[in-house]
């Protein structure tokens, strides 16, 4: 076959790039599901929560009062945040330093909702997220709180994951070690408080987009959720989904 024939065949066979946005409250399974779906379908993966955590970690490390919105806004443009998009090895650096571990501390988790509510922070990270999504050759799964409503309103598929607060707390407790693991009530209270702050902020709050598919994961295994989302992506790609 000549070059033109090869190109035509490749164009017929290669699936079009697909952009998937997965939103939802804390502990609903966004990260686990997004990584697995991206890996199965050969897509890139972006954890936007990690970016908000990274900027929060930088603020805390640089002595900025995270409850002083003006100070956070002034500093929002300073840290250089670089996100890897390999679903099997998600990476994040801040000013060249590996931030994967420090962004998961309790200190950062407690402070992140205050920082993510500052409009200047959101503008900066939204631009970065759109640029990363635009560069993904075969498509990308982007997870967060405002992907379907604000970051990628034209995404090919939007998913909104939910689960009861009890189920989410039990999942989180299973991840924690020692004393923290036994305090289910405190874990549940902390995630409900973070969701309330994220849902209640003025700028691009946690919300389901009107055209998102809602999946209640309370009584589903992680494998069932992954399978459900893979099926929805494949249906969307082939145009066979019911309207």
Ligand X SMILES: Nc1ncnc2c1ncn2[C@@H]1O[C@H](COP(=O)(O)OP(=O)(O)OP(=O)(O)O)[C@@H](O)[C@H]1O
Q: Enumerate binding residues for ligand X (CB under 6 A).
A: 24, 26-32, 49, 171, 175, 217, 220-222, 225
Binding segment for ligand L45E5XJ5 (CB under 6 A), chosen from 34-42, 59-67, 110-118, 160-168, is 110-118
Contact residue for ligand L45E5XJ5 among 112, 141, 209, 215 (CB under 6 A): 112
Smallest distance from ligand L45E5XJ5 to CB 235, Å? 25
Q: In Å, how far from its chain's centre is CA 169? A: 19
- SS in 3 state form for the chain? CCHHHHHHHHHHHCCCCEEEEEECCCCCCHHHHHHHHHHHHCCEEEEHHHHHHHHHHHHHHCCCCCCCHHHHHHHCCCCCEEECCCCCCCCEEECCEECCCHHHCHHHHHHHHHHHCCHHHHHHHHHHHHHHHHCCCCEEEEEECCHHHHHCCCCCEEEEEECCHHHHHHHHHHHCCCHHHHCHHHHHHHHHHHHHHHHHCCCCCCCCCCCCEEEECCCCCHHHHHHHHHHHHHHHHHCCCCC
24 is in an annotated binding site: yes
**Contacts with ligand L45E5XJ5 in 148-177 (CB under 6 A)?**
none
Token pair for 140 = 């990308």
204 labeled binding residue: no
Q: Quote the CA–CA distance of 190 and 163 in Å, as a whole number.
A: 15
158 binds, among ligand X, ligand L45E5XJ5, none (CB under 5 to 8 A by kind): none
- Site residues for ligand L45E5XJ5, window 33-72 (CB under 6 A)? 48-50, 52-53
Distance CA 132, CA 122 (A): 15
Q: Which is nearer to ligand L45E5XJ5, 6 or 106 (CB)?
A: 106
Q: How many chain residues interact with ligand L45E5XJ5 (CB under 6 A)?
A: 15
Nearer to ligand L45E5XJ5, 2 or 136 (CB): 136
Q: What is the dihedral of CA 90, 93, 99, 103, to 10 degrees?
A: -80
Q: Determine whether the annotation assigns residue 173 to a binding site.
A: no
Nearer to ligand X, 7 or 89 (CB): 89
Does the annotation flag 27 for ligand binding? yes
Is 221 labeled as ligand-binding? no
When the beta carbons of 15 and 104 are compared against ligand L45E5XJ5, the nearer one is 104
CB nearer to ligand X: pick between 6 and 221 = 221
Residue 113 found at the interface with ligand L45E5XJ5 (CB under 6 A): yes
Contacts with ligand L45E5XJ5 by CB under 6 A lie at 26, 48-50, 52-53, 112-113, 116, 144-147, 194, 198
* Residues flagged as binding site: 24-32
Binding-site entries for ATP: 24-32
């Amino acid at each position: 076959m000549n070059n033109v024939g090869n190109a035509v065949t490749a164009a017929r066979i290669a699936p079009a790039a697909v952009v998937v946005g997965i939103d939802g409250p804390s502990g609903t399974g966004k990260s686990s599901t997004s990584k697995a779906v991206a890996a199965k379908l050969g897509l890139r993966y972006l954890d936007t929560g990690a970016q908000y955590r990274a900027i929060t970690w930088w603020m805390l490390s640089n002595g900025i009062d995270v409850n002083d919105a003006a100070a956070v806004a002034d500093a929002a443009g300073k840290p250089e945040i670089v996100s890897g998009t390999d679903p099997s090895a998600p990476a994040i650096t801040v000013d060249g330093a590996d931030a994967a571990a420090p962004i998961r501390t309790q200190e950062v988790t407690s402070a992140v909702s205050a920082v993510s509510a500052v409009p200047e922070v959101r503008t900066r990270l939204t631009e970065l997220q759109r640029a990363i999504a635009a560069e993904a050759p075969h498509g990308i799964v982007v997870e967060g709180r405002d992907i379907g409503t604000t970051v990628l309103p034209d995404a090919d598929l939007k998913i909104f994951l939910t689960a009861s607060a009890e189920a989410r707390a039990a999942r989180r407790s299973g991840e924690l070690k020692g004393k923290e693991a036994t305090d289910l009530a405190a874990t549940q209270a902390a995630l409900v408080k973070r969701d309330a702050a994220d849902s209640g902020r003025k700028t691009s709050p946690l919300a389901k987009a009107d055209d998102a598919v809602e999946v209640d994961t309370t009584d589903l295994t992680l494998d069932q959720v992954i399978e459900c989302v893979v099926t929805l992506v494949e249906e969307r790609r082939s145009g066979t989904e019911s309207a």
